[in-house]
Amino acid sequence: MRIPSYYRYPTWQRFFAGVAIGAIISWVVFLHLFGVLQEKQVRQITELQDKIADLENEVRIWQEDYVKQNKMNKKKLMVQEISVHLVNAEQYKLDSYTTFRIEESVKEDISHLKAKDIETVYNSRELLKRAIENKTYTINEQLYKLEIHQLFVFTTLSIELKLKPLPSS
């Protein structure tokens, strides 16, 4: 079987020439549109990358400011509450009212520390320790002295005390 020779007929020659020119023109149009779209995409990606870089820089600045602000706030924290606990009240068989009276007496002695900044309270902890430990309490005709077992200074000033009997004179 033989393929007919269309190259000799001018109508077919025009048709194939039109197909070839059309293919070339469509390829040029396709490349132009594809290039324009790619350029738009590249521009958009570049803008987004710049925006991301700016936002990351802004977040970094905010985080640095946040850390600085937290440090400043920690320096300015105030004592808001005072908590006193007598650790060895059971050892001396003290009733809850006596324990409460001792704890409240200590709270009254150091109540002036409320609304003071933590740094000041921490710097005056030795004075606080002496003020608490130098006071004597008479319970059931026996003299007792308090000793600070633990002292925590933060927004809540937490003090754990131990009761020590004084030797009879």
Q: Do 100 and 148 belong together in one domain? A: yes
Q: What is the mean pLDDT of residues 93-103?
A: 90
Where is the domain boundary, 53, 75, 97?
Answer: 75
pTM over 0.85: no
Where is the domain boundary, 51, 75, 99?
Answer: 75
> Which residue, 111, 115, 104, is CA-closest to 161?
104
Burial category of 105 from C-beta neighbours within 10 Å (exposed 0-12, middle 13-18, buried 19 and up): middle
- pLDDT of res. 42: 96
Q: Do 107 and 127 belong together in one domain? A: yes
Residue 85 within a domain: yes
- pLDDT of res. 118: 85
**135 backbone φψ class: left, alpha, beta (φ>0; ψ -120 to 50):** beta
Domain count, the chain: 2
Residue 1 within a domain: no
Residue 112 within a domain: yes
- pLDDT of res. 158: 94
**DSSP-derived 3-state class of residue 42:** helix
**DSSP-derived 3-state class of residue 117:** strand
Q: What is the mean pLDDT of residues 143-157?
A: 91
- pLDDT of res. 57: 95
Residue 158 within a domain: yes
Q: What is the mean pLDDT of the chain?
A: 89
Residue span of the structural domain in which 37 resides: 6-75
Residue pair 89/99 in contact (Cβ under 8 Å)? The answer is yes
How far apart are alpha carbons 25 and 40 in whole angstroms? 22
Q: Do 86 and 151 belong together in one domain? A: yes
pLDDT tens track for 51-91:
999 999 999 999 999 999 888 877 678 888 999 999 998 88
